[in-house]
C-alpha cells in the first residue's frame, strides 16, 4: 500500500505544509545565491591572476553564472518541494490526528487511544495526550468535584489507561 493512498487528502494540513516547504525553498534559494557569489569571486580571482586570459574569463563569466543558477534552481526547486512535502507528512499527519482526537474528546465521544505510525514524529506528545485525556472528565465524575479523593473515589492516576500504542505499518 503506497503512502499517499493511505490518506483521504494528499495534503493533510496544506497551510502548514506549504509554509514549511516555502521555508525549505527559501533556504535553498539563499544557498544558490551564496553559490553564485562564491563562483563569481572565484572567476574574478582567476581573471586577476591571469592577465592573458582576463578578457576571456570576464566575457564568459555571466554566461557561466546564469547557466549555473538556472541549472541549480531547475534541479533544486522540484527536489526541495518534493522532499519538503514528504517530510512534512511526518509532522502534519500527527498534528491532524491530535486535532481530530481532541475534537472527539471535547464532543464527549470516547475515541480509541491516539496512535501514530512508527515513523511519525511527536510520539511522546501522543502518549502525553493519551495520558491527559484518559482521566475521568469532570462531567463523568460521580463524586463532588470540590471534595478531595477519598478511599471510595479512585484517584485520577489510578484510572488512567496505558500510554499510547504505536501502529506499525
Q: Does residue 152 surpass a pLDDT of 60?
A: no
The 8-class DSSP code of residue 166 comes to E
| Cα 17 from chain centroid (whole Å) | 7
Question: What is the Cα–Cα distance from 159 to 146, expressed in whole angstroms?
Answer: 18
Cβ burial, residue 61 (10 Å; 0-12/13-18/19+): middle
Higher pLDDT: 35 or 163? It is 35
> Whole-model pTM?
0.59
Q: End-to-end CA distance of the chain: give it in Å, rounded.
A: 9
Segment 67-123, tens digit of pLDDT? 988 998 899 999 999 998 888 888 888 998 999 998 998 898 888 888 898 888 999
- Span 49-69, average pLDDT: 87
pLDDT at 6: 56
Q: Kindly report the number of other CB atoms within 10 A of residue 89's CB atom.
A: 22
Q: Does residue 8 surpass a pLDDT of 70?
A: no
Amino acid at each position: 500500500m503506497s503512502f499517499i493512498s493511505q490518506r483521504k487528502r494528499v495534503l493533510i494540513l496544506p497551510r502548514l505544509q506549504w509554509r514549511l516547504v516555502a521555508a525549505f525553498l527559501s533556504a535553498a534559494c539563499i544557498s544558490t545565491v551564496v553559490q553564485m557569489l562564491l563562483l563569481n569571486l572565484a572567476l574574478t580571482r582567476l581573471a586577476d591572476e591571469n592577465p592573458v586570459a582576463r578578457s576571456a574569463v570576464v566575457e564568459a563569466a555571466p554566461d557561466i553564472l546564469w547557466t549555473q543558477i538556472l541549472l541549480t534552481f531547475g534541479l533544486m526547486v522540484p527536489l526541495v518541494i518534493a522532499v519538503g512535502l514528504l517530510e512534512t507528512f511526518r509532522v502534519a499527519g500527527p498534528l491532524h490526528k491530535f486535532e481530530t482526537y481532541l475534537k472527539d474528546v471535547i464532543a464527549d465521544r470516547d475515541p480509541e487511544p491516539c496512535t501514530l505510525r512508527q515513523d511519525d514524529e511527536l510520539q511522546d506528545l501522543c502518549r502525553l495526550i493519551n495520558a491527559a485525556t484518559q482521566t475521568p472528565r469532570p462531567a463523568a465524575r460521580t463524586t463532588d468535584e470540590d471534595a478531595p479523593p477519598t478511599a471510595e473515589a479512585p484517584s485520577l492516576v489510578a484510572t488512567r489507561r496505558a500510554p499510547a500504542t504505536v501502529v506499525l505499518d
